[in-house]
Structures are given as structure tokens and as C-alpha cells.
Chains A and B, each alone.
Chain A
């Protein structure tokens, strides 16, 4: 070893000793460890004054109470409101991540006018005055050209002041084409109308039931008021109550249920009627309810003396477990034991409406399931289904109509929901596209106003919907977010988000008491947006005449205050108006049908006397060309309504649902083998209305010949966090009009799958 080398080593050793005796290594270690806590991507709430604001979540029809934690003027966390009658402190993943909608990248920040081609994404920001004037001028033009009926309007919710303002606008303007998003609530409403004679929405005393048969309802997948159903589900587990899930696919609800009854898709009504068969045949029904409070159970005669078969005859003549088994694929002995347990339970409850309940469904099915509840007397009693009067606090005097309005309102509706064919249905949003494309109403649709809905994404047969949109010259969106519909609009008048606006939120779906919530501004508007009520009134006033006169309020808030009357103070203080001592009407006074009784059979039900009920509600496509059946399925992690997944939710989608940008289609291994498809393989899924690239996921949780795709994927607008991922199943499906309600009853569509 030479000297230089040894000296160098000595230098290093001296250096090491010196370093160890200096603060450098020790301080550096400390600092580096602290540095790891200050990485810029670690979210840290700001410092400041804490406060909490109680409000209502409106991201789904659940109507949960929320408590938003704020630091100074920034909202930092959304929690469920403790003690709230809907969710008592609970919250769902969408509600909890709602701040990403408020502060996230998909907001429309100011009124905008399209400058490029439709959907090209080229916009110019304009002032509110310009935006209101642009809308008013266009609408005034259409009206003075004698085509007021050629303006259509789609809203999300049906009740409350904002939808009512739009309805009022359409009336004063002179168009019959007011539509609201449809869901199972509409089917239940028609069911209660026909069987109870009431204009009512359903309330489910789910938490108190002890034997629940769910016909495909995603109890823990977002059905009803999602958090409330989670709580009920937890209670059933704690108290050893029974949940039987009737569903063609092993959903989360089915997996957690006490029993999963794998039924052929679309035959749930047959199973319900077959259970009724057993209950009637074995005399297990509630005799006092059926004898004293129900009509048309036995054969009956109408005013002209014509005799009709009663429910009993109808059921006993065609729905024996042996017969039903052939259709439903459910073992006859299972049908019998299920019926016995159901009828033998103290508080049985039957639910229906598939998944989250976004598709209205077949009315026969709803009535069959509701008849089951009737048979066991689970009507307006603890643990049963209650008929809750529809919210009726919007009691404005009718707007004055001028000549143009009167003429326009006389015209037929574009969606076909007119008195003749579908007398129980107010509007059929799923029929709109067809109406526009076929011109069946006899006039063209020139303009469309969309508020709180995202029809280009949520309506089925997207191609037809798109075609209809393309033919409409003027589309106005009031969306807070750049969703699919806003992206195709000509003018956007952005609403405040639900955390920035005041608005009444009536009737959380499925709650068994009448409740009105008040959503309140948690933070001041972050951008140049406006409460949609004010925008609409602005347009009406700008138009003037009788349209302007219909909106005498100074502002939306003044209108809301006047509408709420005496309730305003309570709503301002508590954020909710509850009828604390609410009890359902007793059986004696609950029914307002002609017989003043629960109506097992009704005029509408006679539509179903033919053996249609024994088969599935027909879906589109022929078995010869499309050997498989595609059904959609819902998940709590995928928002499938007008609001898309938040970035946070998108991160929670399971790896067997979505991988990178590919969605998995669930396929039974036997089906896959016959198609020569293996796990993970890319395949092409084709239906009569569309095609998509998917990946195959083998699952024993789905029957042979049936395949399933999740809802809520395949967005193309919205933020990059969700756009371009998977396939929008609505694009592959086609609506099927229910023969009684006209609403979309498609539970699936025929499909084929081939190696790509």
C-alpha cells in the first residue's frame, strides 16, 4: 500500500469522525424524516376557524342529511348528519367525496356559448345578461313562429320548487313536453295509484321488517335511499332477520343475503305470483286484510254486470310452482318453502326494482310484488310498505295563458305520455328520442332545456338519443358540471353545485314519513354560477308577456320562502321538516280506489291477463342472432345517475370490474368455454344497438347464457378521472316501453360475445 493511498484513507476516516461529531448527520436525519411529511401531494387541511354547516345531499334521490366541516371558508369534509331520519350519521362514498365535485376540475365556471361544432369543446365565456338574453331571444323566436310545443324540457327530480318552476315555465310558454328522469319511484307511484287509489310515493319501514324478499333490489348497492338501506341491512344482520335475494347474478346484496335465489333474468314477477299461488293455495294469507280491506281477490263483476276473474283465480290458474319453475328456473320446492316462510313471518316485506332502481321496470312486476305485500297485510303497518302522500306544498296559482300557450298545450306530447295510451304516466323520458326521430307528434322539436339530468349519458339507445339531439337546433344545459349533455349543448347556464345553493329537497326515496329537507349554501359560490331557479326566471322575465308574468317573484329565494310559508323558519334552523308523530293511515281509510279497498286487480292489471306474465318482459333482439342476454348491474362505487363518479370513487373500482380502460363483462365459465373465451381475454360485445370492446371475467355468480356489465362507466365528457374508462352500458341497451306505463322496462338486451 503506498503512502498516498493510506493518506487518503486517513483523510476519509478523519472526515467520518469529524462528521459524526458535527450536527450534520443527526440534523439531516431528522430533517429528512420531517421532509417526508411535507411532500406536496400529501393533502393538508388549511388552518383556520372550524365550523359545521348542516345541509342535504342531492347527489342521488337518497336525500341524506349532511354535516359539512369547514375551516374558514373552505369546506374540508362531508359527514353524515347525526340524528337525521334518513341516514342518522351515515354517508355513502359519493356523498363523502362530494367536495371533489365542488372544487374539482369538471365545473362549468361561467355562462358559456358554443363557438365550435357541437361537442368540439370550443366555448366562449359570456356574461349572465348575454346568456339570459340569448336563451330568451331564441325561445321567443320559436314561440312567435307558432311552435311553442317544439320546446322540450328535461329535469332530474320530479318534486320541489325547481322542477315545478320548469313545469310552470313550460305551461306558460305553451309546451306539453315537460319530462322528468324516470326511476322505480315512478313505477311504484303508478302501482300505488292503481292499487291504493292514492297519489302517493312508497315508504318502506325496512328496518322493522323481519323477513325481506328482494326481487333484485340492490339493498346494499344503492337501492332506495342508499345509506338508509345500509342501516336497515345492518339491523337485519344484528337482529338475525332474514334477507332473501332473488336475482340472476350474485350481487353484493345476494352475497350477503341469507339466501340467494338465482332466477332467470326478467322472470321475477312470475316468481312473485307463484309465491302468491302457494300462499293462497295453502291459506296462508292475512284473512282479515284480504276479506275486509281488499277488493278483486275473488272473481268480481263490474257495473255492467260483466264478470272478471279475481286475483285468486288468476294466480291459481297459471302460477303453480311447477309451471313457474319452468320459466324462472327456480326449484318448485324452493318456491314453496320461500312462500311459506314469507307468509309465516311476523313482518314480511317484499321489495322490487332492480339494482339501484334507475330503470322504472315492468309495472306488472311491481304490482305482482305489491300484491304479495297485500296478501300478508304488509301495507301501512310497521315493517311494511306505506303509501306516503306526494309532496304537495308547491301550491302556486296556475299561470295565465295567452293564445300561443293555449294552442301549444293542446298539441300531443313528443314522448307519447298522453292520456290515451298511458293514462297513468306523466312523462316518458325514454320515449323522447323515438318521438323526435319519428316525428310522431306532428311537429319538430327545436329546443331542449336540460336541468339536473344527463340524458345523453343515462338514456338507453344512445345512438337514437344522439340522433334526436343532433336534430334539435338549440340545447340549453343548466348543469354545474361539464357532463355529456352539457358538452353537446349550445348554451350553458351553470347552476351552483348542491353545496353552494339553497333548495328544497322533498321526499327522500323510500322513507316512510313525509320529510322536506333544505339544502343550504355551505360555501359561497366558487365561480360565476347562478341558482337555476333564478336563471329560469331571468329568461321568463326577459321574454315578458304572460310567460314573464307567470314568475312574479323577486328571486328564487323569495319564491322558495313564499312557497314554504310557515315551514321556512324551521327549515332555515334545522335544515329539515319532519312530521315527528307521523303514522300511516289505518287500513279502513288508507284506500281511495272505487271500492275504497286495496285493489288486487285493476283495469291496468287486466292488460296482463294474457300469458305475458308467464314469460319475460320481451327485450330487444332475437335469440338466433344474439344467443346471450346482457344485463346491467349497479355498484355503490359507480355513480350511474346524472352525476358521474368522483375521482376518489374512480380509485375504488375493483380490479375485476375495470382494468386500465377496459371493463370486464361477467361470463359464466361454461358460456365462456362454449365461446372459446378465457379469463382476461379481450372480446367484442355486440347488441342490436351497439358494439363495445370488453374483457372477459369468468364468474360462477352468473347463470349460463347471461352476461353482465356494470353501469356508471363509459363516460366521455366529465373529468379525465372517469372519462374514457369502460363502456356505457346504456349505449348497448335499448329501452322497452312497459305496456301499462310506457316507461322503460328493459331489464336486459340480447347480445353476443366473440373473441376480438
Chain B
């Protein structure tokens, strides 16, 4: 008769060590290397000073206006800028680039839009601002006070702005403008009890935002 005895060859320590090695390596990869690989940066064509414009024109709507049919104009086109920027104003390098490269050549400025949603998302500004009475900064933050344009970070896989997922890899946020995923829409709608029984929760509700 023989008994089978567990062989203790002292390998337990090694195994734990390797487990930890694997664990740590993948944590580094996931938390530090991956975000670096995932996102890339671009600079805006030139710096834009929101603060200085706010002093002159007074309100967001002066440039980011609603059209007569209720659609939102978004980033202004050259046509809006040209009235004031026919000629170089002030002495900044950015102004010079703007007037010489764009205004004079009737070329639209290829602005990179931090808050641009994917193409499959339909978002109505007028429902929120005109009907809902919300302020721009509720979702976009204090962008009106900025004097410089921060670099535009975008996801290398999807091509979309980092602002949509948010700076935090975990998707955490302090402010509404830190993240703009569908969960964030839903969260705000829930908190404010907006039309919980409307088309937004019923059959066909998907198509309100995903047309």
C-alpha cells in the first residue's frame, strides 16, 4: 500500500512572486501605458481667447447662435468672424495667422471640437437651452473664461475627443463637463426627473438620440 503525499518542493513562494509580478505588470500596462498609447494630442490651428471675446460680445449666443429653424450653429463659421476680423486686430500672433491664412483666403478654420459627439448621436441644443432653459456652462463648464485653447486630445481608435469619455480612465467625474457619455445624459435626466414617461423611456426611445 502506498500513500500519495503532496510534494512540497518550496515552489509556493515563487508562484506568489510570479503572480504578483504579472499583476503589477498588467496594472502598469493598463493604468499607465495604455492611456498613453490610446490618446494622442493635436494643437488647435491657433489659439482662441474666449475671455477677450466675452468682454466684447457679451454672451455665448452672440457667436454660438441658434438659427431661425431652431438648429444650433455650433462653432462659428468664418462668415461670423469676418465682420470684425476683416483686418488684423491687436498684436497677437494668433490674430495674424487667423486673418492672413484664413480670412484673406476665405478658408474656414478647421477647429477641433472638444465636445463633438459621435455621428450616431443626435443632440438637440435647442431642447436643452431654449426649451429647458439651461445655461451653456452647465454642460460645457467655464470655457468662456479661458484665454487659451488647451490641446485637443483624441482617441486613436475611435478618433473622437477625449472629453467624451473624460480625463479619468475610470470614467469618474466631478463636474458635468468632465464626461459626456450616454450614462451622463441619463444621470442628469434622472436627477432632474425630465420626462421620465415620455418618448425617452418608451418603445422607440432609442431613436430620440440615435437617429
Q: Hey, which bits of chain A sit against chain B, CB under 8 A?
A: 3, 6-8, 10-19, 21-24, 27-28, 30-32, 34-35, 37-38, 42, 44, 47, 49-50
Instruction: Find the residue from B22, B25, B29, B169 having the highest chain A CB count within 10 A.
Output: B22
Interface contact A11-B155, CB-CB below 8 Å: no
Beyond A10-B22, A16-B26, whether A31 also contacts B14 by CB under 8 A is no
Question: Which of B18, B27, B35, B120 is close to A18, meaning CB atoms less than 8 Å apart?
Answer: B27
Chain B residues 167-204 with CB under 8 Å of chain A are 169-170
Q: A11-B22, A12-B22 are in contact. Are A31 and B157 (CB under 8 A)?
A: yes
Chain A residues in 8 Å Cβ range of B11: 3, 6-7
Complex contact B157–A37 (CB within 8 A): no
Q: Which residues of B contact A21 (CB under 8 A)?
A: 27, 30
Which of A12, A13, A34 is B158 in contact with, Cβ under 8 Å?
A34
CA distance A119 to B71 in the complex (A): 50
Neighbouring A residues of B71 by C-beta, 8 Å: 49-50
Q: Supply 13 further A-B pairs (C-beta < 8 A) apart from A32-B157, A37-B120.
A: A6-B14, A7-B18, A14-B22, A16-B22, A18-B30, A22-B27, A23-B35, A24-B34, A27-B38, A31-B155, A35-B157, A37-B119, A42-B119
Some 17 contacts from A to B, beta carbons below 8 A apart, are: A3-B14, A6-B15, A7-B11, A7-B17, A14-B25, A16-B26, A18-B25, A22-B27, A22-B30, A27-B34, A27-B169, A31-B155, A35-B158, A37-B119, A42-B119, A47-B74, A49-B73
Query: Which A residues lie within 8 Å of B30 (CB)?
Result: 18-19, 21-24
Q: What distance in Å separates the Cβ of B189 from its nearest Cβ neighbour in chain A?
A: 21
Q: Is B207 an interface residue (CB 8 A)?
A: no
Number of A-B contacts (CB under 8 A): 107
Nearest-neighbour CB distance to chain A for B155, whole angstroms, equals: 6
Residue in chain A with minimal CB distance to B24:
A18
Whether the pair A7, B15 counts as a contact (CB closer than 8 A) is yes
A31 close to B24 (CB less than 8 A): no
Query: Nearest B residue to A7 by beta-carbon distance?
Result: B18
Question: Beyond A14-B23, A15-B25, A27-B165, is A8–B119 a contact (Cβ under 8 Å)?
Answer: no
Specify the main secondary structure of chain B where it touches its partner.
helix
Residues in A neighbouring B38, C-beta threshold 8 A: 27, 31
| Chain B residues whose CB sits within 8 angstroms of the CB of A30 once the complex forms | 165
Distance (whole angstroms) from the CB of B128 to the closest CB of chain A: 18
B142 proximal to A (CB < 8 A): no
Contact A37 B23, beta carbon cutoff 8 Å: no
Query: Is B98 interfacial (CB 8 A cutoff)?
Result: no
A13 & B19 in contact (Cβ 8 Å cutoff):
yes
B34 x A34 contact (CB < 8 A) = no
The closest CB in chain B to the CB of A30 belongs to B165
A14 to B30, CA, bound (A): 13
Interface residue? B67 (CB, 8 A): yes
A-contacting residues, B92-109, CB 8 Å: none
The listed residue with most B CB atoms (<10 A of its CB), out of A32, A37, A50, is A37
Closest CB of chain A to B112's CB: distance in Å? 13
Which A residues are in CB contact (< 8 Å) with B120? 37
Contacts of B73 in A (CB 8 A): 49
The answer to whether A19 and B165 touch across the interface, beta carbons within 8 angstroms, is no
- CB B186 to nearest CB in A, in angstroms, measures 16
- Bound state CA distance, A27 and B166, in angstroms? 11
Point out which of B19, B38, B159, B160 has the most chain A C-beta atoms below 10 A from its C-beta.
B19
B20 within 8 A of A: yes
Measured in the bound complex, the distance between the Cα atoms of B17 and A3 in whole Å is 12
Known contacts A21-B27, A23-B31, A27-B165: A3-B159 contact under CB 8 Å: no
Point out the residues of chain B lying under 8 angstroms from A13, CB to CB: 19, 22
A34 vs B99: C-alpha distance in the bound complex, in angstroms? 37
| Distance, CA A23 to CA B119, complexed state (A) | 25
CB-CB < 8 A to B165: which residues of A? 27, 30
On whether the beta carbons of B118 and A3 are closer than 8 Å, the reply is no
**A50 to B25, Cβ gap below 8 A?**
no
Interface residue total, chain B, C-beta cutoff 8 A = 38
Query: In whole angstroms, how far apart are the Cα atoms of A14 and B165 in the complex?
Result: 28
Give a binary string over B70-96; 1 marks a CB under 8 Å from any A CB, 0 the rest.
Answer: 010110000000000000000000000
Q: Cα distance A18–B32 when bound, in Å? A: 13
A15 to B30, CA, bound (A): 10
User: Which chain B residues lie closer than 8 Å to A10 at the CB level?
Assistant: 14-19, 22
Question: Which of A11, A34, A35, A49 makes the CB contact (< 8 A) with B19?
Answer: A11
Chain B positions 140-163 with a Cβ under 8 Å from a chain A Cβ? 155, 157-160
B69 within 8 A of A: yes
A752–B23 alpha-carbon span in the complex (Å): 78
Q: Binary interface profile of B, 53-81, with partner A (CB < 8 Å = 1, else 0)?
A: 00000000000000101010110000000
Contacts of A8 in B (CB 8 A): 18
On chain A, the residues within 8 Å of B22 by CB distance are 10-18
Q: Which residues of A contact B25 (CB under 8 A)?
A: 14-15, 18
Return chain A residues, CB-CB under 8 Å to B67.
49
Q: Is the CB of B159 within 8 A of A22?
A: no
> Which of A18, A28, A34 has most chain B Cβ within 10 Å?
A18
Select which of B19, B34, B74 is within 8 A of A22 by beta carbon. B34
Q: Once bound together, how far apart are the Cα atoms of A38 and B159, in whole Å?
A: 8
Interface 1/0s, chain B 27-53, versus A by CB < 8 A? 101110011001000000000000000
> Given B69, B155, B170, which contacts A23 in the complex, CB threshold below 8 Å?
B170
Instruction: Tell me if A11 and B18 are in contact (CB < 8 A).
Output: yes
State how many angstroms separate the Cβ of A43 from the closest Cβ of chain B.
10
Q: Which residue of B lies closest to A51 (CB)?
A: B69
For the complex, what is the distance from the CA of A738 to the CA of B39, rounded to whole Å? 74
When distances are taken between beta carbons in the complex, the residues of chain A under 8 Å from B8 are none
Known: A14-B20, A32-B157. A38 touches B118 (CB 8 A): yes
3 closest A-B pairs by CB: A22-B30, A14-B22, A18-B26
Taking the closest CB of chain B, its distance from the CB of A579, in whole angstroms, is: 33
CA distance A34 to B24 in the complex (A): 29
Q: A50 to chain B: closest CB distance in Å?
A: 6
Cα separation A49 to B73 with both chains bound (whole Å): 7
Decide: A14 near B159, CB < 8 A? Known: A22-B27, A49-B73: no
Find the B residue at minimum CB distance from A31. B157
Tell me the complex Cα distance, A7–B19, Å.
Answer: 8
A744–B122 CA distance with the chains assembled, in angstroms? 55
Distance of A3 Cα from B11 Cα, bound (Å): 6
* The residue from B29, B157, B159 contacting A24, defined by CB atoms under 8 A apart: B29
Question: Can you name the residue of chain B whose Cβ is closest to the Cβ of A24?
Answer: B30
Min CB gap A370→B, angstroms:
50
Contacts of A44 in B (CB 8 A): 119
Cβ–Cβ < 8 Å partners of B35 in chain A: 23
Q: Are A23 and B169 in contact (CB under 8 A)?
A: yes
Q: Which residues of A contact B18 (CB under 8 A)?
A: 7-8, 10-11, 14
A134 to B22, CA, bound (A): 79
- Cα–Cα distance between A16 and B158 once the two chains are bound (Å): 25
**Complex Cα–Cα for A590 and B165 (A):** 74
A17 to B29, CA, bound (A): 12
**Residues of chain B with a CB closer than 8 A to A27's CB:** 34, 38, 165, 169
Chain A residue nearest to B75 in the complex (CB): A47
Of chain B, the residue at the smallest CB distance from A47 is B74
Query: Given A3-B11, A10-B16, A22-B31: A34 and B26 within 8 A (CB)?
Result: no
* Residues from chain B with Cβ under 8 Å of A28 in the complex: 157
B23 touches A15 (CB 8 A): yes
